[in-house]
Amino acid sequence: MSHFGCDTILCFGDSLTQRGWDVSRNGWVAQLSQAYVRKLDVVSRGYGGYNSRWTLSLLPQILPTTDSKGPRPRLLTILLGSNDAFLPGLKQHVPIEEYKSNIESMVTMVTDPQSAHYSPDTKILLITPPALGEKLYSSMCDLYVGRTPESVKACADVIRDIAERHSLPCVDLWTAVETQAKEVGGELDGYDAFSFDGVHLNEGGNDLLFKLVFQAIKQHYPELDPSKVPHVVPLLAELTAAIKENKDLDVAQFLKFK
């Protein structure tokens, strides 16, 4: 095992994942990292502005090969689609059938025994892009043009379909935001409770996504419930108790990474 010491949770996607480390907005990736302290390393590979076409070129450079040694992803989350949903003619647009093919290629990169990155021990969690808050989105500067609620929904529908066909769990962030925004209501139709610009998550949105991801892990991959994942090295109380019990304890051996 390498000096990093433990396996990982690999969070892969666009700016919704990149910004997931933003502690000032309760980033969902940061919250996930806190839940797995000293158990699994949460690694963020989010690329702001990227679509599924461009990130598909990156994933094989990130995933370990089947025969590689050292830490491996125990869980891979994939959250893409908000940039693919740009309308035709815009540089980030990806046709919906290509988007579908790209996401499926990412899944089979891990699940296909013929893949150089085949990893049967790596679990996959697909996440839909969040619903677009149209009024909030259109109220922003001119940079924020080119997506529609319908184009984002089409990508969310694809993720749900892929998850079902590959028997994978899906975190349906789109439906969660859409439903709860309607309950909130208000001048911006409630989307401002979950997003600061109609696309990217604010504190409420990050808290919601973390809650959904955490629930999905516990329900579908209970072996990855943090309460069931052992610490990679003993806690201080365990170390001091072992030393007290055995004054000749080989501490270096006792502290080897599990």
Show which residues are catalytic.
Answer: 15
Contact status, residue 118 vs residue 110, Cβ threshold 8 Å: yes
- Neighbour-count burial of 256, counting CB atoms closer than 10 A to its CB (0-12 exposed, 13-18 middle, 19+ buried): exposed
Let me know the angle formed at the C-alpha of 61 by 59 and 63, rounded to the nearest 5 degrees.
Answer: 65
Longest Cα separation, the chain? 72
Length of the chain as a residue count = 258
Name 252's Cβ contacts closer than 8 Å, sequence gap at least 6: none
